[in-house]
Each structure stands twice: as C-alpha cells, then as structure tokens.
C-alpha cells in the first residue's frame, strides 16, 4: 500500500466534497441513534462482563494454588489467560476510551480505570486515544503504523534495520505489553535525544513502578502463595501473560496492517473536515469476521472500522451498527476491508515480511541478468552505496 | 500486673502489624485493582466498603409517592431526625444523585432507613424511584447531613409548615419525637386530600393529641400565605418554626419572619429546584484556579478556560478521547454536539467533556 493521495487508482476519487460531507452526516446519524438508545441494557452488559472477568480470574488463581496437579494447572492457566485477555480487550481498552463514561459510575470510568498491563493507563490514553485515534494511518503522524520499529507502508523510508522486522515483530508479539509501555513512553526518541527530560523521567518512573507491581503479583506473590505449587504457578502465569500478549498483538495487527487498508499523507489532514476525518477512519481500518466469542475476546476490535468511526460508543453496540456502516460503504463505493482472523493475521504478517525489504525488491531483482547488476540493484534499493557514475549521468 | 501491660501492648503491636501485612499482601494480589473490587462481588454492604444500601421494600404512600426501605451498609452512621441523605441511583444506566429526607424512626429493629419520594412530573429520578424501583437494587448512599433538625433543647412551642413532599423531613422528626416536643402545630398543604403523604399517620398523631394538625388543600384553599397562617396559628409569634416546601412558600415565610423581626426563629429546608433555568452562556468559575469568566453559549469550556489561562487537561478537542474530562461541581452545560443539557447540583461533581460542552447558565468547574 502507499498513501492514498499518490495512488493511480485513488479509491476516493469518485467522491465529491459534498458526497463526503453527506457521508459524514449519515455517520453522525448512526452515532446519534446509539447515543439516544444507550441505557440499562448496556450498563448491565459491561457490569456482567466485569463481574464475570473478576470471578474467572479469582477462580483460576484459586485453582493454580494447587497447580502441581496437572488438570488444575491446565484449567487454571486457560482461565487466567482468558481473564487477562478479557480484562485488556473488552474491558480495559474500552473503558479507557470513555465508552462507559456516560454511566457516570466512578468505578467504571476512563479517568479512574487502571488495567492489568505494563503501561500505566494515563500514558496509554495519551498515545492511543489522542495520537493514534486522531492521526489514524497518517504516515509520519500515527506512530501505530509499525510502532516505530517496523515499516508497514511503502511510503515509510526503508532502513537496513527493517531487514530484521519479522523477528522484531515476533519478539514484540511475545512481550507485547512491554512493547506498548516502551512505545507509550516514546522510549526510542526520548532515549536517543539524551535530553534532561523531566517529563520522560517522571513517566519512566511510573512505568517501572507499574511493571514492578505487575511482576510482583504474577511472578512472586501468587507463586509463593501456592506453596509447593510455586514453580508450576509461576509457569502458569508466564504462559497466561504470553498467550494474552500473542492474542492482543494479533488482533491489533489486524486493525490497520492487512492488505486493503489505506494510509494518508501528512499534509492531507490539514484543515480536514468532519466528513473527511470519518472517511479516513473508514479506509484506514480493517475488521475481523468471526462468531460472538471471537468478538468478545477481541474486545470488539473485530469491528475496528466501527470502533475507529465512533471510538467512544459502547463496544457491545459495534456489532449492531456494523450492517448500517457496511451499507454506507457499498452506497458510497468504498471497500469494507474484512476477513477471518487467520486470513487477516497472515495478511498483516505478509506485509511485515514484504516491507522488511525495499520497495519493489523482487520485481527489480527479476529483471536482473548478471551478478554485478544484482549487486548494483541491491545497493541502489537499499541506499547502501551511491549510484554509479553512468546511472547518475543518465 | 506489672508484666501484663507490656505483653498486651506488644500483642497489640503484633496483631496490628499482622493486619497491615495481610492488607499489603491482598493489595499485591489484587493489583492493579484493589481488594475491595473483588470483595464487592460477594459483599457490597460489608464494613469498609463504599457506602451503599439495598432496597428491601417499596411501599406506596399516594398515587405519586412511595417510601423506599433501604438496608444500609455497615458503614452507615446514625442520622439525626430531619436530615437528608444523598442517594445515587442508576436510571437508564446513568448514575444520578439526588437528596431525600430520611423518614424512618432511628431505632428501627431491622436497622433499615427509609426515604419517601414524590414523583415530580418529568422528574427522571423521582419517577424511577416511585414507579420502577425493583426490590434488591443496590443504591449508592452518602452519610446523612443537613441542618434542618431540632435543637438539643427544644423550644416549648413548635410549628411545622410544610407543603407537598416537604412533609418528609418533618415526619422524620415526628416519628422520632420525644417528650420534649409537647406543643406542636403542623400546617400542611397538598393539592387534594389524596395527595397528602402520611395522611393516616398524621391523622392518628392528631387524634392522640400529639400534634394539632391543619390540613390545607391548595386546589380549593389556594396557596398558603402569611396572613392565612397568622389566622390558622394565632400564637404564631411564640412558635419557633421549621418550614419545608416549594420555593414560593419558603420565600413567603422568610419574608414574614424577616418583617416580624423573628428571622432567627425560622428554619427552612430547600430541595434542589426542579427546573434549572438555563440561558445561553453564563458565568464560569474554575474552583481550583479561582478564575471567573463570562462565557457565551457556543464556546467550548475548554477553549474558554484556556483563553483565561486555566490549566485545562485536553486531548483530541473533538469529543472522542476524553482527555479533557473535568468535574462540573455545580451548574449546567450544553453538549455542543447534541444540545443535551447536563446539570449538577452542589456536590454532584458530574464529569463533563470540556471540549464539547458550553456553559448553559452559571457553572463551577473543579479545575
């Protein structure tokens, strides 16, 4: 993919400015419908999910007290992994988006929620809600496009470090919560700037404190409470965190990386209207098809398109409005990017692997006949050597 | 004896250290939540929990009023007759707080408290409480408060002037009266006899000679004014008075007591006004920074605050990220997107998105 503005077959060329604003008004109407009908049913839903998650986590941890007994280990580990996924995806992410703030319950509120994750909620809300959701898929503005460690768009500059990005991505998937914390901290930028940055030091301390509390809980206190089962409980908690990391990484990769998702030029969002903002969200996100369980475990980010259009609507409503949103896509001649979880994960990984090499690497390589020419092409594509005199003259 | 004391002291130290240790361990186990979040799953009314109550009965009083019997959590402290409590109830999924007078005797054997609610036309919370409350519902509570109470040494002659649901704090006092309240007159107004809350109980109190009751029906008798009151209660000038009812009645009472030089002998209880008058824009004060500005009805409070130099939290400035949320301590704001009105009475602290909210009357923001 390449930024939409440079595409030969620009997928929004057929829409006039008026069309885009009408589209925006139709989306506003969908939003208004949900807001007007939010009520007891929704409140009961999130309270039920929270109660179920806490009950599952408590009972799984209780089982793990005797994790020396293999069936207890298996059931406890599975239960804890599911509880951790629910807590991060359907509860934490969505509560911190302010999806449930309308209930005015201080215990289920974006300003008071803290989640089972290495990144403190305050920092995550800034980098995710303010930056990613505002600048979605704008190359150079939205750091979620590759998290600063990968190249996921042709218009992102290739550097030799990208060769290793399939590996970085796998490592990031395994330790995803720490990756997110480092990302929210803008670790790379702040570290290399070597400035005496008081804000960075304050946030760094907060992250370390959060990580310490999280690790003490999972890797010290709960194992010790298990007595003889300490080693197996330690293993169980490690596996549960790993499973949660791999799962959330996969779901989140599917949101913006699969084939078909569009990206945008930095200057294209100058003076962007509400309608244009909506359009960018529609084209910059991708859904996952699946059953009710998939949606619940994905925190309804399987409706990433609907979530990006209306980040603050209750997650249980995305599925309900999806048909209306899809109908708008059809009517306005836009592509609603969706697919099964395996397909979308594969598509995202394919892109990570393909873009680890410079643009058009294979095409150019195919045209090469001699070994010296091959070296030449590689050198040029990767920018590792200046162009030869002949080519420069040409 | 000489050795017992140090042993007892060290035992106390040991148990308190053990308790602290257990609490600390529970915090480690529960992080990033707190142990209370898990305990709330099984025992929301336990001691140490946020103050809540469970509704155990809803008893109709009139067609438009009902008494809610509430089993309060262990943290509930005894109230003083005449006081009110703030009740937080979820209506259509939204937590709403209102203040209601406590009407129960202090020594109820079941330890329950009661509030008596009259459904106001269009009232979101009162209609829900009277007509749609389900037994078993958990409500949020605050400790009782309010100055509308009888003094330690009671005056010899007392007058209660009430109208409508204004009878509720007075009934709280009458049900907890003791021998000190010997000479009591109750002048109570309601539209018709069927609208009188606690009618039979008031009748019994009068029949038994505990009170002299004057029941007025505004549909036929008109609104009570000071002259009528002087006629009905000839020794008015000798009576210390407690009045509770609509704004008009209280204003008239205050004026009368002011004119007769007895302002200190009148105690009034004002409930929140039913209708909050809202204009376009208004005076906005930021409590923490002490800034006060005039704002029009179209400027987001975030912009207005920033322009006035208030340190405002902010985020996307389009109403999606909730980075700008701040508590509205009191006042009214309008959601610029929907035109919806959000109001807060003192103590509510309703969280609002300042980037999409404009003043709709005077507002006090906790920033």
DSSP A300-321: TGGGHHHHHH-TTS-GGGHHHH
As given in the structure block, the two tokens for residue B7 are 């042993």
Helical axes A230-256 vs A341-354, angle rounded to 10°: 80
Closest chain B residue by Cα to residue A222? B29
* H/E stretch holding B23: helix B4-30
Interface membership of A39 toward B (CB under 8 Å): yes
B243 preceded by a cis bond (ω within 30 of 0): no
Specify the pTM.
Answer: 0.86
Interface membership of B53 toward A (CB under 8 Å): no
Per the CB < 8 A criterion, the answer to whether A38 and B91 are in contact is no
Q: Alpha-carbon distance B278 to B13, whole Å? A: 58
As given in the structure block, the two tokens for residue A3 are 């930024």
What CA–CA distances, in Å, run from B288 to A312, B215, B281? 28, 48, 21
A130–B315 CB contact, under 8 Å: yes
Q: What is the largest CA-CA distance in chain B?
A: 80
Instruction: Write the DSSP assignment of B124-166 as a string of letters.
Output: HHHHHHHHSPPTT-EEEE---B-S-S--SS--SEEEEEEEGGG
A225–B96 CB contact, under 8 Å: no
Phi and psi dihedrals of B114, rounded to 5? -130, 150
**Residues with Cβ < 8 Å from A373, sequence gap 6 or more?**
none
- Residues 329-348 on B with a CB inside 8 Å of A are 338
Phi and psi dihedrals of B217, rounded to 5? -115, 110
Per the CB < 8 A criterion, the answer to whether A344 and A286 are in contact is yes
Interface membership of A129 toward B (CB under 8 Å): yes
Q: Alpha-carbon distance B323 to A96, whole Å? A: 10
Per the CB < 8 A criterion, the answer to whether B268 and B183 are in contact is no
pLDDT (tens place) for every residue of chain A, 394 residues total: 577 877 888 889 999 999 999 999 999 999 999 999 999 999 999 999 999 999 999 999 999 999 999 999 999 999 999 999 999 999 999 999 999 988 988 899 887 899 999 999 989 999 999 899 999 999 988 988 888 889 988 889 999 999 999 999 999 999 999 999 999 988 877 777 765 688 888 999 999 999 999 999 999 999 999 999 999 999 999 999 999 999 999 999 999 999 999 999 998 899 999 999 999 999 999 999 999 999 999 999 999 999 999 999 999 999 999 999 999 999 999 999 999 999 999 999 999 999 999 998 877 777 777 778 777 777 776 666 555 544 444 3
pLDDT (tens place) for every residue of chain B, 367 residues total: 455 667 788 888 999 999 999 999 999 999 999 999 999 999 999 988 999 999 999 999 999 999 999 999 999 999 999 998 988 899 999 888 778 999 999 989 999 999 999 999 988 889 999 999 999 999 999 889 888 999 988 899 999 999 999 999 999 999 998 777 889 999 999 999 999 999 999 999 999 999 999 999 999 999 899 999 999 999 999 999 999 998 889 989 999 999 999 999 999 987 644 334 455 789 999 987 778 999 998 889 998 988 787 778 876 676 766 778 999 999 999 988 878 889 998 878 899 999 889 999 999 999 8
Predicted local distance difference test score (pLDDT) of residue A37:
96
Per the CB < 8 A criterion, the answer to whether B201 and B223 are in contact is no
- Residues 184-223 on B with a CB inside 8 Å of A are none
Predicted local distance difference test score (pLDDT) of residue B273:
40
Predicted local distance difference test score (pLDDT) of residue B278:
52
Predicted local distance difference test score (pLDDT) of residue B67:
98
As given in the structure block, the two tokens for residue A9 are 């077959």
Q: How many CB atoms lie within 10 A of CB B247?
A: 11
Per the CB < 8 A criterion, the answer to whether A133 and A311 are in contact is yes
Q: Is A263 helix (H, G, I), strand (E, B) or coil?
A: strand
Predicted local distance difference test score (pLDDT) of residue B3:
56
Q: How far is B349 from chain A (nearest CA, A)?
A: 10
Interface membership of B288 toward A (CB under 8 Å): no
A129–B323 CB contact, under 8 Å: yes
User: Interface pTM (ipTM) of the complex?
Assistant: 0.88
Listed residue (A81, A80, A87, A84) closest to A65, CA to CA: A80
Listed residue (A114, A106, A59, A56) closest to A84, CA to CA: A56
**DSSP-assigned beta bridge partners for residue B85:** B100
As given in the structure block, the two tokens for residue A44 are 């009961």
B325–A98 CB contact, under 8 Å: yes
Interface membership of A44 toward B (CB under 8 Å): yes
Interface membership of A193 toward B (CB under 8 Å): no
What CA–CA distances, in Å, run from A58 to A52, A79, A305? 10, 9, 34
Phi and psi dihedrals of A238, rounded to 5? -65, -45
Alpha-helical runs (H) found in chain A: 17-37, 40-64, 70-86, 94-96, 121-125, 165-174, 176-184, 187-193, 198-215, 222-225, 230-256, 274-283, 292-297, 304-309, 318-331, 341-354, 361-366, 371-382, 389-393
B338–A126 CB contact, under 8 Å: no
* H/E stretch holding B116: strand B113-118
B29–A217 CB contact, under 8 Å: yes
As given in the structure block, the two tokens for residue A333 are 């001649």
**Residues with Cβ < 8 Å from A149, sequence gap 6 or more?**
A165, A168, A172, A188
């Amino acid at each position: 993919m390449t930024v939409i503005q440079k595409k030969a077959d620009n997928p929004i060329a057929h829409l006039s400015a008026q069309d885009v604003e009408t589209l925006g008004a139709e989306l506003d109407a969908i939003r208004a419908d949900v807001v007007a009908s939010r009520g007891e049913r929704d409140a009961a839903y999130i309270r039920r999910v929270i109660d179920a998650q806490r009950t599952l986590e408590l009972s799984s941890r209780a089982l793990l007290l005797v994790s020396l007994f293999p069936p207890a280990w298996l059931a406890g580990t599975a239960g804890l992994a599911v509880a951790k996924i629910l807590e991060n995806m359907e509860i934490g992410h969505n509560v911190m988006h302010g999806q449930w703030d309308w209930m005015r319950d201080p215990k289920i509120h974006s300003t008071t929620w803290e989640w089972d994750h290495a990144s403190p909620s305050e920092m995550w809300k800034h980098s995710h809600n303010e930056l990613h959701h505002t600048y979605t898929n704008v190359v150079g503005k939205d750091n979620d496009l590759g998290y600063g460690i990968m190249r996921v768009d042709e218009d992102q500059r290739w550097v030799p470090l990208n060769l290793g990005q399939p590996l970085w991505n796998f490592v990031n998937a395994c330790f995803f919560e720490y990756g997110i914390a480092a990302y929210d901290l803008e670790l790379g930028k702040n570290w290399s700037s070597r400035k005496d940055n008081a804000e960075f030091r304050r946030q760094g301390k907060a992250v370390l404190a959060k990580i310490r509390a999280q690790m003490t809980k999972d890797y010290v206190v709960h194992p010790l409470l298990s007595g003889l089962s300490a080693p197996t409980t330690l293993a169980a908690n490690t596996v549960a965190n790993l499973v949660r990391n791999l799962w959330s990484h996969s779901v989140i990769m599917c949101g913006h990386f699969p084939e078909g998702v569009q990206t945008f030029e930095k200057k294209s969002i100058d003076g962007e209207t509400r309608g244009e903002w909506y359009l960018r969200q529609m084209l910059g996100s991708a859904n996952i098809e699946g059953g009710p369980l998939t949606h619940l475990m994905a925190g309804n980010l399987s409706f990433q398109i609907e979530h990006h259009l209306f980040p603050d609507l209750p997650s249980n409503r995305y599925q309900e409005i999806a048909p209306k949103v899809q109908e708008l896509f059809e009517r306005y001649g836009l592509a609603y990017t969706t697919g099964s979880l395996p397909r979308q994960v594969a598509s995202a990984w394919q892109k990570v692997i393909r873009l680890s090499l410079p643009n058009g690497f294979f095409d150019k390589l195919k045209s090469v006949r001699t070994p010296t020419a091959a070296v030449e092409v590689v050198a040029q594509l990767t920018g590792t050597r200046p162009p030869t005199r002949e080519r420069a003259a040409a | 004896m000489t050795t017992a004391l140090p042993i007892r002291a060290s035992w106390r130290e040991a148990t308190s250290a053990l308790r602290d240790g257990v609490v600390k361990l529970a915090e480690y186990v529960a992080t990033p939540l707190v142990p209370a979040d898990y305990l709330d799953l099984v025992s929301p009314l336990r001691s140490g929990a946020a103050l809540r109550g469970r509704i155990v009965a809803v008893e109709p009083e009139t067609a438009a009023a009902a008494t809610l019997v509430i089993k309060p959590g262990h943290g509930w402290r005894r109230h003083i007759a005449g006081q009110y409590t703030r009740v937080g109830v979820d209506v259509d999924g939204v937590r709403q707080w209102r203040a209601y007078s406590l009407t129960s005797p202090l020594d109820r054997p079941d330890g329950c408290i009661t509030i008596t609610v009259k459904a106001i036309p269009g009232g979101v919370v009162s209609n829900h409480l009277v007509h749609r409350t389900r037994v078993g519902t958990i409500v949020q509570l605050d400790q009782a408060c309010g100055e509308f109470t009888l003094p330690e040494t009671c005056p010899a002659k007392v007058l209660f002037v009430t109208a409508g649901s204004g009878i509720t704090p007075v009934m709280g006092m009458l049900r907890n009266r003791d021998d000190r309240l010997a000479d009591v007159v109750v002048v109570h107004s309601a539209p018709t006899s069927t609208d009188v809350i606690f009618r039979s109980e008031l009748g019994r109190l009068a029949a038994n000679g505990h009170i002299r009751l004057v029941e007025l029906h505004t549909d036929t008798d008109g609104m009570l004014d000071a002259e009528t009151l002087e006629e009905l209660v000839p020794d008015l000038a000798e009576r210390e008075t407690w009045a509770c009812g609509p704004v008009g009645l209280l204003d008239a009472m205050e004026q009368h007591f002011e004119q007769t030089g007895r302002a200190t002998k009148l105690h009034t209880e004002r409930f929140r006004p039913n209708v909050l008058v809202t204009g376009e824009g208004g005076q906005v004060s930021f409590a923490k920074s002490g800034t006060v500005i005039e704002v029009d009805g179209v400027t987001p409070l975030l912009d207005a605050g920033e322009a006035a130099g208030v340190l405002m939290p902010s985020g996307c400035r389009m109403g999606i990220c909730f980075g700008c949320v701040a508590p509205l301590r009191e006042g009214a704001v309008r959601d610029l997107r929907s035109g919806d009105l959000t109001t807060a009475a003192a103590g509510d602290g309703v969280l609002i998105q300042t980037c999409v909210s404009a003043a709709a009357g005077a507002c006090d923001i906790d920033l």
